[in-house]
Copies of this chain bind each other. A is one copy, B any other.
């Protein structure tokens, strides 16, 4: 059973974490957790001030070589009747987060700060202000049934997942 369009839209607004998949030549895909916000028709993920492994920025090199990415939003639950997932495929680009290269910057920043109060204390950008922009091209979704649908529709209210 697919998730209804309004639930998909709400999850893309409010779900706090996605797992980003990026193709790598001759190697297993890069999969990593990211925060993101929806603004001006795209999904945005900052290279923020959370501590990073050096390898984490491998995402930039991988993305430049293979911009077709997937973002998975999902909910795991020991009660399997509540399982659901939503996958967005899209084209990713890497943007310098400066007003002259990104006219929508103010709106994107506001969306990220509204969604993540953590940015009051964690820098929104690491040294070189950088954002991933993912323009959704296709979505796929699944939920286990009515209990899962109810869980997905109540999303965004839980603090941990």
Contact = CB atoms under 8 A, between A and B. Distances in A.
Interface of A: 1-2, 16-17, 19-24, 27-33, 50-53, 55-56, 68-72, 74, 76-78, 80, 83, 85, 87, 89-90, 118, 122, 140-142, 144-145, 159-161
29 contacts: A16-B78, A19-B31, A21-B21, A21-B28, A21-B29, A21-B31, A23-B24, A23-B28, A23-B29, A27-B68, A29-B29, A29-B31, A29-B70, A31-B31, A32-B72, A32-B87, A50-B144, A51-B144, A52-B142, A53-B140, A53-B141, A55-B140, A55-B142, A77-B159, A77-B160, A78-B118, A78-B159, A78-B160, A161-B161
Given A33-B72, A72-B19, A72-B32, A27 B161 contact: no
A109 B96 CA distance: 50
Contact of A122 (B29, B30, B80, B159): B80
A70 B118 CA distance: 29
A72 B31 contact: yes
Given A16-B76, A50-B83, A80-B118, A28 B90 contact: yes
> How often does this chain occur in the complex, in copies?
2
A96 to B, nearest CB: 24
Contacts of A28: 21, 23, 68-70, 89-90
Contacts of A85: 32-33
